[in-house]
Amino acid sequence: MSENSYLGSFQFGGVASGLDTASMIDKLMEVERKPLERLQNDYENLKLKQKAWKELDEKLSDFWDFLATFKLKSKLIPKSVSVSDENVLSATAATSATNSSFKVKVNSLSSSTILTPDNTLGDVPDLNTQYYKLTGRTTPVAGTFTLKALDSNGNTLETVNIDFAGTDTIQDIINKIDSNSTYFTAELVDGKLKIHEKAGQEGSVANILLGDASDTSNFTEVFNLEGADYVAGSGGSAGYIESTVHAGAVNTGTTLSDISSDVTSGIIRINGTEITVSADDTIGSLISRINASNAGVIAWYDENEDKLMIRNKEGGPQSITIEDGDADGNNKTNVLDDLSWVDATGNYMGKVTPGTAANVEIDIDGDGVADLTKTTWGNTVEYNNVTIDLKSTSTDWVNVQVTQDADATYDKIKEFVDKYNEVIGYVYEKLNEEPVKPERGKELSEEDKMKGVLKDDQNLRDIFYKLRDIAYGVVDWTSDVKGKYSSLYDIGISSGDAGGTYENTMKGVLSIDEDKLKAAIQDNAEEVWKLFAYEDDNNKGIAIQFKDYVWDTTKFGGTIDQISGTTGTIGLEMRDIAKRMVSLVDQLQRKEAYYWQKFSAMEQSVSQMQSQGSWILGAFAK
């Protein structure tokens, strides 16, 4: 028995009469509950309808999303551009570009202004620098180091074992190599260790092996010999292997305070844009902040030169202005001279190479003679609505041909037809599918319950007719537009019905005559686009009609929202039923309490009669 506020916690029936009072009341209440059950079924059916409308709304919204980009010329009637040498240039064309061919010769590329610092970020060591002070990229560990000289067959000519201390200078280490090796000596060139063949041994060694598993030092890493190749000697020149960068070079993880102790937090300005700097910044974080700013430059660390390079993003001879502090001269960082960009007086501390302009010749008529010359500070040239991206210079002409990308247009229109057919097919199915009847004793699945809930729904039928009317309709162009095509049928898109059958027309589906559609695209792609996507105050192409109608149908307050939204007809009806159900539940509880009251009164009467009968029997017994 369900909870009933009009009854007590416990009800006992049939104590005096012996009747199954609870069962009798349950049977009576089953009859009383029939109206409530009908309302519950109506409510559930409305919920299913609401869900079905939501699914339709989602399908129509997906169609709208497609139409929003389908109508764009760049999507619907793109141009295709082919070039004879893609190593020299590539090209793309706007839809407004005419189908044409021309030739291009790239005489020069654009370059941007670049600042190459004179000094390195790390201290360049000299011959007197002790090994343990070479703390640029790797913490030095002294010990043993092995060097092997190999012949052209890979055979070992000699194995040299060098043992050195952390306090040994670079000169000490060079001396040990020289005295222990028959073939090699070494020298320090601009902070780089160069191990090379001795005089008289030129060309004797075909290759070299550095290091051994038994070594206890990190000699190779400290002198930045990892990644270096041995250059074999020939023609009297000595073979050698050399550090990729000087032994004091830093890395992008090095902080600015490690480079110089006088760096403070503040501001630097590049091309007028303020960039915050902290002494705790690493080289890498400073680079990221500069490149993410609006300074219009690109900074990078050259690992082989140990220099922080900087250049303008744009090409041409535009200067790079670099200043310490804010516009008022405050918040200086003292970092610019440490980066070897500019000194305290604002003078460049390096070589500034001005950018150059690109120079391109264009042969319009194909006679091999330049008809037009273009110069630009970037490596992008615009000609006749064609964008040409320059890659390298050329001495020969590069052929450029602009054509209509008919295949892309056909594929896009086919996608439109497929998406329309998906939508109209869904609507037609929902209009005509039959409800599923449950088998005795079995519960229907959610999917089966959904079937048939919108069968013959007039609102859905109106949507179906409108979609079909747009697909099969004619665009009535005004005289100032004069579209060549007025219907999808004109370009080979129709129901496809033939031989007196109208099944596809009844269902509203579309099919494509491939040859006719491709012919229309090749003949005049612009007119094909117009049929679908042209729009002004008095004219709307077919895709625009679909887009506008679908929007009116799916928007907030639109057709579907008025039907199944919170304040729509279904929502209002559901709220009304819910109120009636609450009222009915109260009435049923009152009715159930009434039945218990009557049966309880009956039980009392029976009990009294039984008591009187027992008294009379007792009296006669005396």
Is the residue at 131 inside a domain?
no
Task: Tell which of 404, 432, 467 closes a domain.
Answer: 404
Instruction: Give a yes or no: residue 119 inside a domain.
Output: no
Taking residues 554-580, report their average pLDDT: 85
**What is each CA distance from 11 to 1, 15, 28, in whole angstroms?**
10, 11, 16
* 103 and 236, same domain (yes or no): no
Helix (H) or strand (E) holding 108: strand 100-108
Question: Contacts for 282-291 with beta carbons within 8 Å, 24 or more apart?
Answer: 282/252, 282/253, 282/254, 282/255, 282/256, 283/121, 283/250, 283/251, 283/252, 283/253, 283/254, 283/255, 283/256, 283/308, 284/252, 284/253, 286/256, 287/252
Quote the number of domains for the chain.
Answer: 5
Which of 267, 272, 274 is closest to 325 using CA atoms? 267
Coil, helix or strand at residue 135: coil
Q: Does residue 484 register a pLDDT over 50?
A: yes
Q: What is the pLDDT of residues 488-512, one digit of tens each?
A: 999 999 998 876 678 899 999 999 9
Is 495 a member of any domain?
A: yes
For residues 423 and 542, state if they share a domain. yes
pTM over 0.85: no
Q: Where residue 311 sits, what CATH number does that domain have?
A: 3.30.70
CA-CA distance, 588 to 596, in Å (whole number)? 12
- The answer as to whether 91 is a domain residue is yes
pLDDT of residue 17: 57
pLDDT band at 320 (very low <50, low <70, confident <90, very high): very high
In the predicted model, what is the mean pLDDT of residues 36-53?
Answer: 81
Residues forming a β-bridge with 231: 240
pLDDT of residue 19: 65
What's the CA gap between 429 and 234, in Å, rounded? 84
Give pLDDT tens digits for 94-153. Answer: 998 999 999 999 999 999 999 999 999 999 999 999 999 998 899 999 999 999 999 999
1 confidence band (pLDDT: 50, 70, 90): very low
Q: Give yes or no: residues 400 and 270 share one domain.
A: no
Residue ending a domain, among 353, 374, 395, is: 353
d(CA 91, CA 389): 6
Q: Between 23 and 230, name the one with better pLDDT.
A: 230
Query: Is residue 121 one of the residues assigned to a domain?
Result: no
**Do 146 and 197 belong to one domain?**
yes
Q: Are residues 175 and 288 in the same domain?
A: no
pLDDT in the model for residue 358: 95
Q: What is the 3-state secondary structure (H, E, C) of 277-295?
A: ECCCCEHHHHHHHHHHCCC
Average pLDDT in the chain? 90
Residue 31 has pLDDT above 60, yes or no: yes
**In-domain check, residue 130:** no
Is residue 326 a part of any domain in this protein? yes
pLDDT above 80 (res 386): yes
* Structure-block tokens of residue 11: 């009800």
Q: If we measure between CA atoms, which residue out of 11, 5, 9, 1 comes closest to residue 33?
A: 1
Q: Is residue 90 part of a domain?
A: yes
Other beta carbons less than 10 A from residue 52's beta carbon: 19
Q: How confident is the model at residue 23 (pLDDT cuts 50, 70, 90)?
A: confident
How far apart are alpha carbons 270 and 545 in whole angstroms? 52
Q: Are residues 83 and 207 in the same domain?
A: no
Asked if 186 and 263 sit in the same domain, the reply is: no
- pLDDT digits 0-9 by tens, 238-296: 999 999 999 999 999 999 999 999 999 999 999 999 999 999 999 999 999 999 999 99
**At which residue do the structure tokens 């012996």 appear?**
18
In this structure, what DSSP letter does residue 316 have?
A: B
Instruction: Give the domain extent around 295.
Output: 251-353
**Residue 595 in this model has a pLDDT that exceeds 80:** no
Strand partners for 383 = 386
* 268/198 same-domain check: no
End-of-domain residue from the set 557, 584, 607 = 557
Q: Write out the H or E segment, with its range, that includes residue 149.
A: strand 143-150
Same domain, 421 and 495: yes
Q: What pLDDT score does 566 carry?
A: 80
Residue type, 16: A
Token digits of residue 221: 């890493």
H or E stretch at 441: none
Indicate the pLDDT class of residue 398, thresholds 50, 70 and 90: very high
Instruction: Based on the fold, state whether residues 510 and 378 are members of the same structural domain.
Output: no
Same domain, 102 and 85: yes
pLDDT at position 245, please?
97
Encoding tokens for residue 66?
């497609």
pLDDT at 331 over 70: yes
Residue 169 has pLDDT above 90, yes or no: yes
Cα(513)–Cα(504) distance, integer angstroms:
15
Considering only residues 617 and 181, tell me which one the structure prediction assigns the higher pLDDT: 181
- Please, where are the H alpha helices in 440-568? 446-450, 458-472, 503-507, 514-523, 525-533, 542-554, 559-564
Domain identity same for 83 and 63: no
The 10s digit of each residue's pLDDT in 332-348 is 999 999 999 999 888 99
Mean pLDDT of 212-231: 95
